[in-house]
Structure 1
């Protein structure tokens, strides 16, 4: 019997009852970096809205490294934005000591704005 294209490429089959099912495995990734909250959000976005990109990354074995890079970029952008916005609005440690409740309100607002920007620019793009 002639070999199939799958067998010529090094694939094998397993017999399940009367059927031969191909043994499919995903390629192993070189690096196994942790994926944080930003990477998980981007993964969910890709899985729900960009299925082709998600599937291509998954089957090529590059999904985790891609998500770890996205997570790192988003984390850096978030902290940089929070720092810049706090400096621009005068939310300092002296202000925190003088009026802790107002400082908390302003910092929460700054963090929410920075999170919205990161989501728009990196996560849902």
Structure 2
């Protein structure tokens, strides 16, 4: 009896009752820490991009992909905050003179930067 394509590619079967079931495994992937940006993108993939999520998961590249998205988003977030602080003149001197105003303005900058990162990187 000729081998199936699955067997020719090195696949094996196990017997379940009267049926031969293929032994399928997902390729091993190096575990990398995933931060908040990667977790948010994972939720987005699961909800709105199910095919992309499934393809990444079954190919064993999901964790690496999410770690890369997390790194890119964090770097972009930090660059945006620094750029906005310089553009609006928020300095350590303002922090010393009026901590409450400094905190409010920095909070606004962080919220704006978060929205930009979500639009540019996470939800695309």
TM-score (norm 1): 0.90
Deviates more, 1:109-118 or 1:32-41: 32-41
Unaligned runs of 5+ in 2: none
* Residue 82 (structure 2) pairs with residue 83 (structure 1): yes
Give the alignment of 1:1-125 within 5 angstroms.
1-29=1-29, 31-125=30-124
Question: How far does the alpha carbon of each residue in 1:60-116 deviate from its partner, in whole angstroms, 9 at most, with x for none?
Answer: 221111111111110000000011111111111111111111111111110000000
Q: Compute the displacement of 1:16 (Å).
A: 2.9
Query: How many residues are paired up?
Result: 124
Distance in 2 (CA, whole Å) between partners of 1:82 and 1:108 is: 10
Distance in 2 (CA, whole Å) between partners of 1:98 and 1:21 is: 72
Distance in 1 (CA, whole Å) between partners of 2:107 and 2:10 is: 56
Distance in 2 (CA, whole Å) between partners of 1:95 and 1:64 is: 41
Distance in 1 (CA, whole Å) between partners of 2:57 and 2:83 is: 36
* Coordinate RMSD, CA, aligned: 1.5
Q: Compute the displacement of 1:2 (Å).
A: 3.7
Unaligned runs of 5+ in 1: none
Distance in 2 (CA, whole Å) between partners of 1:51 and 1:88 is: 40
